[in-house]
Structure 1
Amino acid sequence: MTHNSPPLKVPNLEKRTREHLLPNEVEAMIKAASRVGRHGLRDGTLILLAYRHGLRVSELVTLRWEQVDFSSGTIYINRLKHGLSSTHPLRARELRWLRQLKREYPNSPYLFVSERGTPMAAATAFNIIRRWYSGWLGDKCASAYVTSCLWVLSRI
């Protein structure tokens, strides 16, 4: 009798050499996303904030305008999964794009909304990121947190 064992899982290192994007790759992804389609600004801003602040998809889709302080140039991030919530500084491009986004969707309390004006579903945000991310590292979406940490370390 032959025993069929399940196939061995191929280690990620054998599939690809890394599971994060380099800063220049993220920048190219943000620029590309922001220039394509009728929701380019929304999609580019979503990717930009995920990258710059190391946000989980669930943290992105729950962002509300009341968390953005345009006068001080900050955003309050409610961290999930036992993370430490805190206020983050926003850079000029983030502020500019957020102001434009607010003008495009003035009636929503949420930063990121669907075509119907309802809060964006986490699956939709994930698919937006995966759509642009897959061009660099395939279908596996790496953690925005890891990529963000690498960006911070590259600035030290």
Structure 2
Amino acid sequence: MASITVRGPHQYQAQVRRKGYPTQTRTFESKTEAKAWAAVIESEMARGVFIDRSEAERTTLGDALQRYAQEVTPLKKSAENELSLIRRWQKHPLAFRSLASLYGVDFAAYRDARLKVVSDNTVRLELALISHVFTIANKEWNIPVSNPIESIRKPKVPAGRDRRLIDNEEERLLKAVADCQSENDGLHIATVLAIETGMRAGEIVDLTWRQIDFNQHIIMLSDTKNGTARVVPLTHKAEDMLKALPRPIKSSQRLFAFHDSRGMSKAFRRACERADIIDLHFHDLRHEAASRKAPHMQPTTLAKVMGWKTIQMAMRYYNPSAQELVAAVRAAA
């Protein structure tokens, strides 16, 4: 049964009580609105389709993000990066609204505004985080909310970067990173290692001496981006460079002093500026390594060396000419 109570000027509190359901209460500015809301709630209860939205109405997006940061983010490999993104979201006006009041149109407007400032991929990742927050809220926290991100268009996934070292850029780059050793401890070694092996920035930053096996000429990675262990073969240049480094007493010691991959990437950007090299990211060195190895090994082998789970990534680097394809077919005939 519904009741309307006057709580003050332009304050009408509607309350719906029905056996088997939690009491529902909401305040409106007019009696007409209060009656209309109560009628809807009573109808849903009578038809057995009522869903208690009170928790979704009490919980703001900021509250959900905070809980997500405490319960879900720590389980991810990119926890630090995601925490930074969560903090940025918590400052946005949408974070102060309840989950129940957020709709696709709100995030479509956010998408359009952000696309004027940052890249498509940045916006895609920002929306992906919010989408997962809503999914977790519904499935694991038992908060009855639909996912508003599912109803809007997402920015397109950008094509993979194909930036390579050109002309004398490698010479200039290696000179720049070698000249700033005191400022960026180990940047020269890290840069050469990336070019020679194709290791990711995070893998290089976290590398310890115990992972290097000079007898087998490999680096053993137990915790990689895709969650599987892999072996990184060392080129002669990479192995000789590592052997020339002073060994620490503890094999658990890291080779590099950078706090994380972001710190190393920042140092790398400064070195590129000094070398007058434009639009080169540290991760581009992984592309450079794969491009150099591709002509000398099968795609399946390249995928294994680079740590790709499928050969689709390897096929990007396998681009034989028409004459080479003809020769291969005739040789097999």
1:14 corresponds to: none
Any residues of structure 2 matched to 1:13-92 within 5 Å, and which? Answer: 19-22=163-166, 25-38=169-182, 42-78=186-222, 80-82=224-226, 84-92=228-236
| d(CA) in 1 for partners of 2:216, 2:173 | 28
- Relative to the length of structure 2, the TM-score reads 0.35
* SS of alignment partner, residue 88 of structure 1: strand
Change (3 A) 1:74 1:140: closer
| CA shift digits 1:67-87 (9 cap, x unpaired) | 101222221134533165322
| CA shift digits 1:39-87 (9 cap, x unpaired) | 6772211011122222222111111111101222221134533165322
| d(CA) in 1 for partners of 2:282, 2:166 | 14
| d(CA) in 2 for partners of 1:148, 1:93 | 13
Q: Is the 8 A contact 1:73 1:95 kept in 2?
A: yes
**Structure 1 unaligned spans of 5+:** 12-17, 115-119
1:146 corresponds to: 287
1:125 corresponds to: 264
Q: Is the 8 A contact 2:205 2:260 kept in 1?
A: yes
Higher relative contact order (CA 8 A, sep 6+): 1
Q: Is the 8 A contact 2:201 2:283 kept in 1?
A: no
Q: CA RMSD in A?
A: 3.5
* SS of alignment partner, residue 194 of structure 2: helix
| d(CA) in 2 for partners of 1:41, 1:96 | 19
| d(CA) in 1 for partners of 2:291, 2:201 | 19
Report % sequence identity.
21
| d(CA) in 2 for partners of 1:146, 1:28 | 18
| d(CA) in 1 for partners of 2:223, 2:284 | 15
| d(CA) in 2 for partners of 1:67, 1:139 | 28
Cα deviation for residue 140 of structure 1 reads 5.1
- Relative to the length of structure 1, the TM-score reads 0.65
Aligned length: 141
| d(CA) in 2 for partners of 1:79, 1:110 | 15
